[in-house]
């Protein structure tokens, strides 16, 4: 309204002096309106996160911008905080702190927003060599399930996108794609007006935003820009045009006056003003916003008029900027450019007396976000289930179903209907240590077909809502603490094919089954008349068969009708009752150690043979699956360098493993000096590492099928009374393929620092993953240094050793406590072996057989110095690379 009145007055005033007076009034009015809008904004709806900022320092006001930044601790559940080094190139305070993500593939921020609103989303990254590795991280950045961009911090430090939110929850995810660790310094959201930028064709990824002025020393942003856009001042090497008068911006873009008061015209007034835009890909489509305001006082006979062209397409013809009012012109349809180059031309028309003028420009790449987010009701249900049972799973971040490669662990989804969001159809929460009743939240997964809640500690009855879930056809409730009877509605569901298994619930009884069977279990409900007929037919055949055979009833074994309490562990011996375990340990009197699985106690068999008893705790993250895997593996493997299983206990809720006792503890304790006494000699260390290698070689080549240990580390190498090495803890072990296949895909498991980066990145497991972990162990034995130590030049031991070797500094690599009491050739060869084992490429690592033979040669070399005559029977040496700089250590920058 005000702008219309002012324009009318301006058109009717004849005298130049009056016009100048009106320009002043217009400037004052625009100034008042702009600052009123700015005051009304007051950062309303802004989200400004200083990632990694300690909570006790939050919030703070940035002295340069006046923006209020807060810690990100309430917006993400993973990651570690760090601080950029002194070489950080950013002045803003929020680039001092950072958050990095060594665990998991996808780590996501969860931000509450308004649905259906255009948001400017900005992510900032200040690496600053915080980790001492001097390797710029590379990773992907996602908005929800869709990839925003591939981040390479050697060339790129900020990203900005304009995105219309699809729900009230916005997730910004950092996705690991290689060996480097994703990190972030700042994350900012600014709500925009929906009638400004065009996002109906897709999100707008900022290519650049320029304010044309000769002053190129500063960035214009908040509070000058109420939306906190960053305007980089840019000298186009043309003729500068400036004004001190205020310029109105009544359009929804609200370009700040600090931008609109400057502009450029071509030096050659007869030629077009050309701006070139470079794209990464010639298939990219662009959306360009030109901002114009007439900021020169025109004479009575002056005319400024020009065509606005994008790649020879006229966006606007015969355009004339409005006096001291900023307008925005843009291409309504996103447009491709030839060979990845866009030419933006402002072409003077024949009737124009003045050359074209431009004040500012914004250019965006229009992104294609192909994935629909998972059905929001399914997402809400999973969040409720996660909260109710306190589930902490690193993969449960971001969208549950998409992209499919990043789907949440233990979920299956339906992707058949491309026009509809994915739905969750299967949920497996078996062996997760869940307690309490079966929550109603499960019924909100309305497309769920299969639900597995077995091997937990659920109590209460079987809820009727499970039977009312129309799609649910398979329910596994085995091995919980549920009580009966089973609601009648489940028996009615037999006709519709429901399969319900509820074995192993000792307190459960069902009236429907107890009429014919007094045992306290319910047989699986398999509603099929055909199956009943098959059972009858089998019984008839058995009776006929028995009639034809000679009667030998007394010699036949008794048929046991009692159902097993858990899936049977394959063995015939070595099973102990829990009461026997209590006796063997003197009621768990002496503790040997404690870990994620529970507590290890000292015990003895017959009062003479010492044993170690590992008792699985009720809250163990290891769970019954790992317990079962370890028992079954140890019952079928026998090697002098693998810890021997004395027995196990699997009784009700009591799970225990009984091992041979290793009185000299684990290797880590000796390397760290925790057990006191003299440091291990080099010859003793070599003997231990050779024996460990032999144990691993047996798993890889002597077992059928071969096994991968998956958790080789110094705390899992036990030492008996003769300091003989025994590899222990096989709960994470897995079989790996032989023949044509080269790997098995499995969820990543292991210990940070020892974990094969290639396996971590790809989930593709083979025996070379153990080789990498063994290489780290070998480096520990040589150096007696921590695997990860943030205070040294290179925090990870492999990077640090490689760095020291490139300097030729072997003396500072080897444990100084050895006092040079070793054969240097033996140590150097051991280092070569270790560095070949930790090669980033699994294909370039040796096999454990090759490693074992090479280490035996090291031991022979060391024995020869001492006059020893022991021949370890080593074969010819495999070639070991000493080119540490090319494979292990990144080049110095």
Joined tokens for residue 501: 């298994």
* Residue 292: other Cβ atoms inside 10 A: 28
In DSSP notation, 558-622 reads PPP-SPPSSSPPS-SS-B--HHHHHHHTTTT--EEEEETTEEEEEEEETTTEEEEEEEEPTT-SS
Joined tokens for residue 125: 């990254």
CA distance 830 to 822: 12
Handedness of CA 808, 812, 813, 819 (dihedral sign): positive
CA distance 440 to 450: 16
CA distance 327 to 253: 9
CA distance 371 to 72: 27
CA-to-CA dists, residue 425 to 294, 373, 448, 580, angstroms: 60, 15, 4, 44
Q: Are strands 239-242 and 146-152 parallel, antiparallel or unpaired?
A: unpaired
- Return the closest-CA partner of residue 874 out of 712, 708, 686, 714: 686
**CB neighbour list of residue 466: distance below 8 Å, 6 or more residues apart:** 438, 442, 443, 451, 472, 475, 490
Q: Name the phi and psi angles at 817, rounded to 5.
A: -70, -10
CA distance 432 to 440: 18
Joined tokens for residue 685: 């260390």
Joined tokens for residue 682: 């080099």
Joined tokens for residue 885: 């700089």
CA distance 256 to 217: 17
Instruction: Burial-class residue 703 by CB neighbours within 10 Å (0-12, 13-18, 19+).
Output: middle
- DSSP code of residue 61: E
Residue 372 annotated among the catalytic residues of the structure: no
CA distance 631 to 658: 10
625 annotated ligand-binding residue = no
Tokens 């028309």 correspond to what residue? 349
β-pair partners for 231: 220
In which order are the strands placed within the sheet that holds 306-310? 273-278, 341-348, 306-310, 313-319
β-pair partners for 109: 172
- Strand positions, DSSP E, 367-431: 411-414, 423-428
* Helix H or strand E encompassing 169: strand 169-176
The counts of H helices and E strands in the chain are 18, 45
Tokens 């056809």 correspond to what residue? 473
Which residue among 131, 711, 729, 756 is the active-site one?
711
SS3 label, residue 413: strand
Instruction: Burial-class residue 836 by CB neighbours within 10 Å (0-12, 13-18, 19+).
Output: buried
Q: Which residues are catalytic?
A: 711
- What are the binding residues for ATP? 614
- What are the binding residues? 614
């Amino acid at each position: 309204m005000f702008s219309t009145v002012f324009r009318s007055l301006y058109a009717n005033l004849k005298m130049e002096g009056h016009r100048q007076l009106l320009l002043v009034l217009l400037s004052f009015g625009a100034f008042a309106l702009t600052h009123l809008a700015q005051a009304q904004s007051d950062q309303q709806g802004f989200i400004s996160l200083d990632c990694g900022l300690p909570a006790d320092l939050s919030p703070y006001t940035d002295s340069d911008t006046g923006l209020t930044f807060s810690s990100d601790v309430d917006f993400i559940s993973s990651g570690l905080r760090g601080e950029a080094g002194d070489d950080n190139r950013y002045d803003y305070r929020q680039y001092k702190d950072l958050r990095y993500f060594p665990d998991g593939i996808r780590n996501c921020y969860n931000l509450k927003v308004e649905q259906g609103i255009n948001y400017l989303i900005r992510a900032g990254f200040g690496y600053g060599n915080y980790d001492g590795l001097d390797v710029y991280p590379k990773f992907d950045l996602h908005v929800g399930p869709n990839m925003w961009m591939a981040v390479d911090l050697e060339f790129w430090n900020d990203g900005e996108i304009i995105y219309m939110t699809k729900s009230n929850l916005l997730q910004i995810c950092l996705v690991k794609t290689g060996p480097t660790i994703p990190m972030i310094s700042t994350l900012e959201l600014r709500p925009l007006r929906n009638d400004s930028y065009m996002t109906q064709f897709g999100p707008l990824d900022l290519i650049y935003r320029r304010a044309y002025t000769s002053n190129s020393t500063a960035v214009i942003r908040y509070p000058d820009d109420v939306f906190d856009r960053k305007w980089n001042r840019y000298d186009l090497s043309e003729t500068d045009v400036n004004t001190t008068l205020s310029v109105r911006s009544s359009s929804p873009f609200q370009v700040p006056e600090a931008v609109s008061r400057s502009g450029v015209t071509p030096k050659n007034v007869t030629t077009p003003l050309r701006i070139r835009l470079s794209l990464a890909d010639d298939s990219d489509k662009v959306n360009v916003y030109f901002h114009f305001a007439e900021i020169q006082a025109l004479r009575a006979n002056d005319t400024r008029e020009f065509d606005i062209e994008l790649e020879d397409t006229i966006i606007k013809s015969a355009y004339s900027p409005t006096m001291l009012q900023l307008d925005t012109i843009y291409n309504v349809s996103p447009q491709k450019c030839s060979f990845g180059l866009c030419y933006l031309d402002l072409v003077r028309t024949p009737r124009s007396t003045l050359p074209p003028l431009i004040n500012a420009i914004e250019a965006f790449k229009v992104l294609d976000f192909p994935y629909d987010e998972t059905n929001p009701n399914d997402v809400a249900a999973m969040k409720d289930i996660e909260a109710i049972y306190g589930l902490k799973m690193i993969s449960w971040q971001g969208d549950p179903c998409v992209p499919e490669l990043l789907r949440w662990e233990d979920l299956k989804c339906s992707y058949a209907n491309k026009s509809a969001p994915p739905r969750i159809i299967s949920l497996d929460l078996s062996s997760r240590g869940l307690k309490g009743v079966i929550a109603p939240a499960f019924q909100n997964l309305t497309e769920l077909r299969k639900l597995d809640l077995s091997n937990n500690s659920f109590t209460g009855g079987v809820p009727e809502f499970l039977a009312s879930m129309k799609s649910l056809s398979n329910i596994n409730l085995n091995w919980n603490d549920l009580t009966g009877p089973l609601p009648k509605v489940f028996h009615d569901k037999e006709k519709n094919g429901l399969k319900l298994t509820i074995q192993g619930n000792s307190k459960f009884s069902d009236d429907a089954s107890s009429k014919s069977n007094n045992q306290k279990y319910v047989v699986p409900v398999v509603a099929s008349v055909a199956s009943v007929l098959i059972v009858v037919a089998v019984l008839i055949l058995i009776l006929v068969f028995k009639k034809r055979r000679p009667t030998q009833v007394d010699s036949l074994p008794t048929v046991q009708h009692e159902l097993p309490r858990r899936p049977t562990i394959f063995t015939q011996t070595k099973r102990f009752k829990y009461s026997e375990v209590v006796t063997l340990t003197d009621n768990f009197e002496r503790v040997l150690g404690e870990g994620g699985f529970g507590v290890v106690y000292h015990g003895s068999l017959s009062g003479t043979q010492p044993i170690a008893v590992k008792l699985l705790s009720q809250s163990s993250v290891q769970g019954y699956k790992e317990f079962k895997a370890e028992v079954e593996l140890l019952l079928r493997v026998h090697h002098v360098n693998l810890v021997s299983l004395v027995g196990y206990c699997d009784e009700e809720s009591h799970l225990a493993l009984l091992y041979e006792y290793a009185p000299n503890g684990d290797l880590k304790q000796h390397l760290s000096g925790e057990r006191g006494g003299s440091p291990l000699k080099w010859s003793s260390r070599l003997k231990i590492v050779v024996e460990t290698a032999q144990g691993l070689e047996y798993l890889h080549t002597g077992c059928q099928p071969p096994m991968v240990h998956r958790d080789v580390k110094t705390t899992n190498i036990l030492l008996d009374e003769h300091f003989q090495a025994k590899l222990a803890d096989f709960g994470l072990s897995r079989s790996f393929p032989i023949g044509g296949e080269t790997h098995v895909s499995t969820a990543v498991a292991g210990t940070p620092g020892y974990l094969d980066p290639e396996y971590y990145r790809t989930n593709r497991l083979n025996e070379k993953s153990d080789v990498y972990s063994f290489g780290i162990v070998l480096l520990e034995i040589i150096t007696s240094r921590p695997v990860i130590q943030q205070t040294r030049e290179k925090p990870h031991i492999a990077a640090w050793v490689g760095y020291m070797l490139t300097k030729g500094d072997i003396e500072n690599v080897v444990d100084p406590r050895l006092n040079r009491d070793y054969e240097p050739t033996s140590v150097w060869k051991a280092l070569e072996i270790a560095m070949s084992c930790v090669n980033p490429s699994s294909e370039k690592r040796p096999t454990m057989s090759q490693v074992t033979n090479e280490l035996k040669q090291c031991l022979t070399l060391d024995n020869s110095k001492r006059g020893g005559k022991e021949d370890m029977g080593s074969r010819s040496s495999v070639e070991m690379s000493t080119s540490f700089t090319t494979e292990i250590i990144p080049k110095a920058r």
